[in-house]
């Protein structure tokens, strides 16, 4: 949207902008491609977020205490960067809980502005969701609680204040939330946290001359802030010491806007074993993997004793017109893996991991269509006081989602994990065959998603659906739905009046 406006204002067609050559926009265009391959020292060990400690509450629940706070973080030698974090100065601890467990939180907002903490990918009551209707005022403590009721998966948490999500995330508030269950434990996947089961929160940041984060948007860019340095768990140019033959990486694209196209420096193959909502039916072997903002992937990589190999992000498709401005042509070294001289053996990845999603062929209670364009969904901008629709608890719906815009978008739905039924009428690629909560929308393609709504009815308290490119979300590319019990009607969010 913004890019189109700028180009129009200057009377540049797409070809014209590139053809300008020698000066102005053309020179800028030629200069923006980043390539850090071979340029990083890899002299800092990958930081591993601590596991959050919990106490046991009176009701038998596990109680976690989280404090969102400002601070300073040393990313580079010289000067510290002003950042925000959870129980620390940047990012937050990894929360870990088992299916069936009750969890309770005391989330204290130590900032001097309101924020929130959303549990991305979690099936839970809307009032515990941490979205824009559950903001925590400066100095206040929020106490959500629920029972973990979903399959093992790599989920995460981050702020979700309408209009400020991009800013709060960029400053550093985010962390992982790992759900465990018996099924995944029986598989013998690498599972020693920080040893052969390694979290990797991948983010891009731009620094100014004073070593402070800058929220710089590329000239005529369309996605919001794009950084030129890559951090993993807050470490720039990290190395990781490999001690086992197989390592499971839990990857999160924790960036505001950047699309990653992961692969290794020697193009080795690896196994994708889980996506947003948990295990795939079977591992998928590949040498490349896309992750758009908010998406997760668990991959298992095999190493040989003594070797060194880098995880990279390669140039990406799907950028559309002038995608280079938004980083689609960039190439990054991300993390170096250094294998020890001898590696302990680990069990092979099983050929069958889990049951495949089972929503195809169900009775569909309702079909809906969502067109994403110009930071709107179906032409509408997010309004806090407007619930866009209600879904019936216990039913299956099919949502058809299309990016009709020329720029990158993805689609995230709260409360549920969905099944991608088809992409443009065809069978989805293997990475889209497991449970998902966020899906990259390739321009022009139609994604048919099947969703089942279970429990947690609340006619006045909405869940969100939105583009997870945070500048788009903040600008209004978001909507709200409620889950209705029998006989219930769509209501009005607390503290609001019915929208005309």
**Binding stretches for Cu ion (CB under 5 A):** 120, 409, 414, 467, 469, 472
Output the residue with the shortest Cβ distance to ligand C2O. 120
Q: Taking CB within 5 to 8 Å according to partner kind, which of ligand C2O, Cu ion, none is near residue 472?
A: Cu ion
If one counts every other C-beta atom within 10 angstroms of the C-beta of residue 330, the result is: 24
Q: Taking CB within 5 to 8 Å according to partner kind, which of ligand C2O, Cu ion, none is near residue 250?
A: none
Please state the closest distance from residue 329 (CB atom) to Cu ion, in A: 19
Binding residues vs ligand C2O (CB under 6 A): 118, 120, 158, 160, 294, 412, 414, 464, 466, 468
Sheet holding 235-236, edge to edge: 235-236, 229-232, 197-205, 246-253, 296-302, 270-275, 278-286
Please state the closest distance from residue 15 (CB atom) to Cu ion, in A: 25
Q: Taking CB within 5 to 8 Å according to partner kind, which of ligand C2O, Cu ion, none is near residue 482?
A: none
If one counts every other C-beta atom within 10 angstroms of the C-beta of residue 381, the result is: 14
| Minimum CB distance to Cu ion smaller for 34 or for 409 | 409
| Minimum CB distance to Cu ion smaller for 83 or for 222 | 222
| Minimum CB distance to Cu ion smaller for 249 or for 467 | 467
| Minimum CB distance to Cu ion smaller for 83 or for 256 | 256
Q: Taking CB within 5 to 8 Å according to partner kind, which of Cu ion, ligand C2O, none is near residue 160?
A: ligand C2O
Please state the closest distance from residue 166 (CB atom) to ligand C2O, in A: 12
Return the half-sphere exposure (C-beta side, CA atoms, 13 A cut-off) of residue 382. 25
Long-range contacts for 423-432 (Cβ within 8 Å, ≥24 apart)? Answer: 423/447, 423/448, 430/272, 430/280, 430/284, 430/286, 431/272, 431/275, 431/284, 431/286, 431/289, 431/290, 431/297, 432/275
Q: Taking CB within 5 to 8 Å according to partner kind, which of ligand C2O, Cu ion, none is near residue 409?
A: Cu ion
Q: Tell me the C-alpha distance between 218 and 8, whole Å.
A: 16
Q: Taking CB within 5 to 8 Å according to partner kind, which of ligand C2O, Cu ion, none is near residue 158?
A: ligand C2O
Q: How far is CA 162 from CA 7, 70, 132, 213, in A?
A: 28, 20, 5, 21
| Minimum CB distance to ligand C2O smaller for 169 or for 300 | 169
| Minimum CB distance to ligand C2O smaller for 17 or for 401 | 401
Q: Tell me the C-alpha distance between 337 and 335, whole Å.
A: 7
Please state the closest distance from residue 41 (CB atom) to Cu ion, in A: 35
Sign of CA dihedral 148, 154, 157, 162: negative
Q: Tell me the C-alpha distance between 254 and 292, whole Å.
A: 9
| Minimum CB distance to Cu ion smaller for 190 or for 434 | 434
Token output for 188: 């013998």
Please state the closest distance from residue 132 (CB atom) to ligand C2O, in A: 9
Of 101, 85, 103, the closest CA to residue 93 belongs to 85
């Amino acid at each position: 949207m913004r890019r189109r406006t700028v180009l129009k204002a200057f009377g540049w067609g797409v070809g014209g902008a590139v053809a300008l050559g020698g000066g102005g926009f053309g020179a800028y265009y030629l200069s923006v491609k980043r390539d850090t391959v071979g340029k990083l020292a890899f002299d800092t060990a990958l930081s591993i977020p601590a596991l959050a400690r919990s106490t046991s509450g009176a009701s038998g629940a596990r109680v976690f205490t989280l404090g969102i706070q400002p601070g300073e973080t040393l990313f580079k030698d010289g000067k510290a960067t002003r950042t925000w974090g959870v129980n620390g100065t940047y990012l937050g601890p990894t929360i870990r809980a088992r299916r069936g467990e009750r969890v309770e939180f005391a989330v204290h907002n130590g900032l001097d502005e309101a924020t929130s903490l959303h549990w991305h990918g979690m099936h839970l009551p809307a009032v515990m969701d941490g979205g824009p209707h559950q903001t925590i005022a400066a100095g206040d403590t929020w106490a959500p609680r629920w029972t973990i009721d979903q399959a093992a998966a790599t989920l995460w948490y981050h702020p979700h204040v309408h209009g400020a999500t991009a800013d709060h995330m960029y400053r550093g508030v985010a962390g992982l939330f790992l759900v465990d269950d018996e099924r995944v434990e029986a598989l013998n996947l690498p599972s020693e946290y920080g040893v052969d089961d390694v979290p990797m929160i991948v983010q891009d940041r731009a620094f100014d001359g004073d070593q402070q984060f800058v929220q710089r948007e590329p000239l005529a860019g369309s996605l919001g802030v794009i950084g030129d340095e890559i951090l993993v768990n807050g470490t720039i140019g990290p190395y990781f010491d490999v001690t086992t033959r197989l390592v499971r990486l839990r990857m999160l694209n924790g960036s505001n806007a950047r699309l990653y196209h992961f692969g290794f420096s020697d193009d080795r193959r690896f196994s994708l074993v889980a996506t947003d909502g948990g295990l795939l039916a079977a591992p998928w072997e590949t040498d490349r993997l896309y992750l758009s903002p908010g998406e997760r992937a668990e991959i298992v990589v095999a190493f040989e004793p003594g070797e060194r190999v880098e995880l990279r992000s390669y140039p990406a498709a799907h950028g559309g017109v002038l995608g280079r401005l938004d980083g689609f042509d960039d190439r990054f070294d991300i993390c170096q893996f250094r294998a020890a001289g001898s590696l302990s053996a680990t069990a092979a990845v099983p050929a069958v991991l889990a049951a495949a999603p089972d929503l195809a062929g169900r009775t569909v209670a309702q079909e809906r269509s969502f067109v994403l364009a110009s930071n709107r969904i179906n032409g509408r901008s997010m309004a806090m006081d407007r619930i866009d629709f209600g879904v019936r608890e216990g039913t299956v719906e099919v949502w058809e989602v299309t990016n009709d815009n020329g720029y990158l978008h993805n689609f995230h739905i709260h409360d549920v994990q969905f099944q991608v039924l088809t992409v443009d009428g065809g069978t989805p690629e293997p990475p889209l065959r497991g449970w998902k909560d966020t899906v990259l929308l390739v321009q022009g393609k139609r994604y048919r998603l099947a969703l089942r709504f279970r429990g947690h009815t609340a006619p006045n308290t909405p869940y969100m659906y939105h583009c997870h490119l945070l500048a788009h979300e903040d600008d209004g590319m978001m909507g709200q739905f409620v889950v209705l019990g029998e006989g219930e009607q769509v209501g009005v969010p607390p503290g609001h009046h019915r929208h005309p």
